[in-house]
A and B are shown apart, each in its own frame.
Chain A
């Protein structure tokens, strides 16, 4: 027991002694070291700043504010080392340094000795060293990986130029593929890729490239592929590359977090925790060496226009028979593959007994690149003399990169039969005076016809249409309206005449009623023997009628006076006789149109 106490007491004494001895050391500032790796990076990459202290319980350092740099603590580590029985503890803070722009940056106030750390940031591309934080599982980040692809921007994208593996000739059109791989959710294109360097021409790229999904080292990429054609403008050895403006998201989270996010499928973790930044960069493909050969001068045909490729030609003419003076079209069809923009031909520049005109050309591509297709040259020709003519075969010279020599293609000659012109016959024929009777009947032949009659002197006024006037609607309105007017007038006249006869008939019908009434009253007076009423009615009726001039009427009126003034009393027979007389008188009066009332 006592020994134990002794040992325990000794131990406590030693600890106390050591604490006392170490007291000054605790009171002093522990040594701090800061390192920056690498010291040069490309824009879009990140460097690692490590701040190490021998103090195991070091507080997080106060990071300085450097314009153009983003500093962010992404990790902390502690290390305990036992060297020769001596325990050495240290702690470190890992800071991700992400540049916002290109330049040389100084990070002050990190190391205690006041020595600033310098970070050089270069433009993105193949020249920068790989960033410390650009690993994140991407293969060959910043350099060519196993798949031959160089990733940029933390593995967010890549650009690749696929060239033919052979030497090419000046002016030769060579198909190329431009691939831009975009990590899903991490990168998107801002503009079309462009060729770096002015020694090559690149055909216009489509705004809708081929799209394909491809897994590269286990990560999904959308690969945009442009198929195009490049042509060298001068001979020599060239480094060819393309660059593509992109917008990328760069991780700022610790590497292990990024790896977890990669495993979880990204990119949501970064969005949630805000561990990424967006940047516009220009990604450049690795350079490809290409040797451009000069076209040989030896054996160059004089009509060589710069066409490089493999071509065939064929010729035809619009018609094998024509009249002198008629235009014909000579065509040359150039088919094959190559730089059709340099395919040119003057065709037939001079030909005896023919008048030639400059040809026109048109190109119809049979592939999307315009490398293959058919170019047609059309040349108008006019034969000046009749007869059978032979159009010579056409020739076209080009350089064939397959055989490395100049070739000349030929077409077959063409036979054309030219007949005498109609114009010649008509002009040579005598002309009849204008207005003479035509001798040409239906059975007449051209040989028996004396020829064209001469021109007229144009004196008459023109007209607006060839349709005869009587078939024009505005003319047809005139006779139509005239006919309607006449028809209306005719109908109006008929109606008027019909109306006047109706009035006369009405009047006659009224007079008959009056006569009947008067006769009835007279019969009543005769029955009752009222001679005064009888003769008064009769006198009034006769005086209103037209038959007053007859002798009977005069005698009747005299009798009526005797009845009225002398008191004469007629007998029944006399009443009936004078009643009949009145009936006859009324009937005559009615026939002659007289008016009784």
Chain B
């Protein structure tokens, strides 16, 4: 009887954490501001209205919520090509994020943590089933690694922005004076590296940097 007490305690703890996780998920869903389908449909509407900047922005946002949706990816590429904006090159690690939606990946990560912890504890409590424990440990590490990799792949997208105006001037300094260094086309996706007042320092895929007015672009993940 004495040896079963820690297992019961751990089981209660895990049940409590799962309840907390469910409440967290439910609280997030209560806000219901963004929906992958709604963003995708909005992007389609903007594309049909001839506004590629807003279309790309909404496709990018939809792909954050539903990276496994092939329609989002196809339409995003189509609008970019129609607007004569170079499509983003695919990386070898990109398919990793299209396997499952971020919410599923998140809970897989939690399951991985539980497996790792349970297998380590079982080594002390039930030392005989060594193979089972090792298998659980490997699966748990794999799940946690998958979640972490997914986050690393998506992390840069959280700091990206889409040009919304026809010709957004990028300047050498965050003031609306002087000739622009270069002009960014509408629907171009850039990376935000700094901000100052009404200007954002952006970096293009070609590696060029310049200050662009906030009015000319919108971040993929809105700032609160």
Interface residues of A in 45-90 (CB under 8 A from B): none
Residues of B in contact with A (beta carbons under 8 Å apart): 6, 9-10, 13-14, 17, 20-21, 24-25, 28-38, 40-41, 44, 47-52, 61, 64-65, 70-71, 73-75, 77-79, 81-83, 87, 89-90, 102-103, 105-106, 109-110, 113-114, 116-118, 120-121, 124-125, 144, 147, 150-151, 154-155, 158, 166-167, 220-222
Residues of A within 8 A of B21 (CB): 475, 478
| Interchain CA distance A482-B14 in the complex, whole Å | 7
Q: Are A482 and B117 in contact (CB under 8 A)?
A: yes
CB-based nearest A residue for B119: A486
CB-based nearest B residue for A451: B78
Residues of B within 8 A of A479 (CB): 109-110, 113, 144
Residues of A within 8 A of B17 (CB): 478, 481-482, 485
Q: Are A452 and B32 in contact (CB under 8 A)?
A: no
Which one of B20, B28, B118, B166 lies within 8 Å of A469 (CB-CB)? B28
Knowing A456-B40, A468-B154, A486-B116, the reply to whether A445 touches B124 (Cβ < 8 A) is no
Knowing A457-B37, A461-B35, the reply to whether A493 touches B124 (Cβ < 8 A) is yes
Residues of A within 8 A of B24 (CB): 474-475, 478
| Interchain CA distance A440-B78 in the complex, whole Å | 7
Residues of A in contact with B (beta carbons under 8 Å apart): 319, 322-326, 421-427, 432, 434-442, 444-446, 449, 451-472, 474-475, 478-479, 481-483, 485-487, 489-490, 492-494, 497
Residues of A within 8 A of B221 (CB): 465-467
Which one of A437, A441, A442, A483 lies within 8 Å of B70 (CB-CB)? A437
Can you identify 14 A-B contacts, CB atoms within 8 angstroms? Answer: A449-B81, A449-B82, A461-B32, A463-B35, A464-B30, A464-B33, A464-B34, A467-B158, A470-B105, A470-B150, A478-B110, A482-B113, A489-B10, A489-B121
Which one of A325, A435, A444, A459 lies within 8 Å of B77 (CB-CB)? A444
Which one of A437, A438, A456, A468 lies within 8 Å of B106 (CB-CB)? A468
Q: Are B34 and A462 in contact (CB under 8 A)?
A: yes
Residues of B within 8 A of A457 (CB): 37
* 8 nearest A-B pairs in the assembled complex, by CB-CB distance: A486-B117, A464-B31, A438-B74, A462-B32, A468-B102, A458-B37, A470-B106, A423-B50
CB-based nearest A residue for B117: A486
| Interchain CA distance A435-B110 in the complex, whole Å | 30
Q: Are A326 and B20 in contact (CB under 8 A)?
A: no
CB-based nearest B residue for A459: B37
Which one of A422, A456, A461 lies within 8 Å of B47 (CB-CB)? A422
Residues of B within 8 A of A439 (CB): 74
| Interchain CA distance A458-B83 in the complex, whole Å | 27
Q: How far is the CB of A475 from chain B (nearest CB, A)?
A: 6
Residues of B within 8 A of A485 (CB): 10, 13-14, 17, 117
| Interchain CA distance A424-B50 in the complex, whole Å | 8
**A-B contact sample (18 more), CB < 8 A, given A483-B117, A486-B118:** A423-B47, A426-B78, A426-B82, A453-B74, A460-B35, A460-B36, A466-B220, A468-B64, A468-B103, A468-B154, A475-B106, A479-B144, A481-B17, A482-B17, A483-B116, A485-B117, A486-B113, A490-B124
Q: Are A455 and B64 in contact (CB under 8 A)?
A: no
Residues of A within 8 A of B38 (CB): 458, 462
Q: How far is the CB of A426 from chain B (nearest CB, A)?
A: 5
Which one of B52, B87, B90, B120 lies within 8 Å of A422 (CB-CB)? B52
Residues of A within 8 A of B64 (CB): 466-468
Q: Are A470 and B147 in contact (CB under 8 A)?
A: yes
Residues of B within 8 A of A423 (CB): 47-50
Q: Are A421 and B124 in contact (CB under 8 A)?
A: no
Q: How far is the CB of B75 from chain A (nearest CB, A)?
A: 5
Residues of B within 8 A of A435 (CB): 70-71
CB-based nearest B residue for A450: B78
CB-based nearest A residue for B124: A493
Q: How far is the CB of B214 from chain A (nearest CB, A)?
A: 18
| Interchain CA distance A463-B110 in the complex, whole Å | 20
Residues of A within 8 A of B147 (CB): 470
Q: Are A483 and B124 in contact (CB under 8 A)?
A: no
Residues of B within 8 A of A461 (CB): 29, 32, 35
Q: Are B154 and A489 in contact (CB under 8 A)?
A: no
Which one of A325, A472, A482, A494 lies within 8 Å of B114 (CB-CB)? A482
Which one of A454, A467, A490 lies within 8 Å of B121 (CB-CB)? A490
CB-based nearest B residue for A470: B106
| Interchain CA distance A462-B28 in the complex, whole Å | 9
| Interchain CA distance A457-B117 in the complex, whole Å | 41
| Interchain CA distance A452-B87 in the complex, whole Å | 16
Q: How far is the CB of A468 from chain B (nearest CB, A)?
A: 3
Q: Are B34 and A463 in contact (CB under 8 A)?
A: yes
| Interchain CA distance A427-B167 in the complex, whole Å | 25
Residues of B within 8 A of A442 (CB): 87, 89-90
Knowing A470-B109, A482-B17, the reply to whether A453 touches B71 (Cβ < 8 A) is yes
Q: How far is the CB of A104 from chain B (nearest CB, A)?
A: 71
| Interchain CA distance A322-B51 in the complex, whole Å | 12
Which one of B30, B110, B125 lies within 8 Å of A493 (CB-CB)? B125
| Interchain CA distance A452-B44 in the complex, whole Å | 7
Q: How far is the CB of B203 from chain A (nearest CB, A)?
A: 21
Q: Are B103 and A469 in contact (CB under 8 A)?
A: yes
Q: Are A463 and B50 in contact (CB under 8 A)?
A: no
Q: Are A468 and B49 in contact (CB under 8 A)?
A: no
Q: How far is the CB of B118 from chain A (nearest CB, A)?
A: 7
| Interchain CA distance A256-B118 in the complex, whole Å | 115
| Interchain CA distance A467-B110 in the complex, whole Å | 18
Residues of A within 8 A of B90 (CB): 442
CB-based nearest A residue for B67: A468
| Interchain CA distance A427-B133 in the complex, whole Å | 58
Q: Are A470 and B81 in contact (CB under 8 A)?
A: no
Residues of A within 8 A of B65 (CB): 463, 466
Q: How far is the CB of B55 from chain A (nearest CB, A)?
A: 9
| Interchain CA distance A440-B70 in the complex, whole Å | 11
Which one of A319, A427, A468, A483 lies within 8 Å of B113 (CB-CB)? A483
| Interchain CA distance A451-B75 in the complex, whole Å | 8
Residues of B within 8 A of A427 (CB): 48
Q: How far is the CB of B100 from chain A (nearest CB, A)?
A: 11
Q: Are B166 and A322 in contact (CB under 8 A)?
A: yes
CB-based nearest B residue for A432: B74
Residues of A within 8 A of B20 (CB): 478
Residues of A within 8 A of B30 (CB): 464
Knowing A453-B75, A478-B17, A483-B113, the reply to whether A466 touches B49 (Cβ < 8 A) is no
CB-based nearest B residue for A321: B166
Q: Are A452 and B47 in contact (CB under 8 A)?
A: yes
Residues of B within 8 A of A464 (CB): 28-34
Which one of B40, B81, B166 lies within 8 Å of A455 (CB-CB)? B40
Knowing A440-B78, A471-B158, A479-B109, the reply to whether A465 touches B28 (Cβ < 8 A) is yes
Knowing A486-B116, A489-B10, the reply to whether A463 touches B124 (Cβ < 8 A) is no
Knowing A440-B78, A442-B90, A456-B41, the reply to whether A493 touches B121 (Cβ < 8 A) is yes
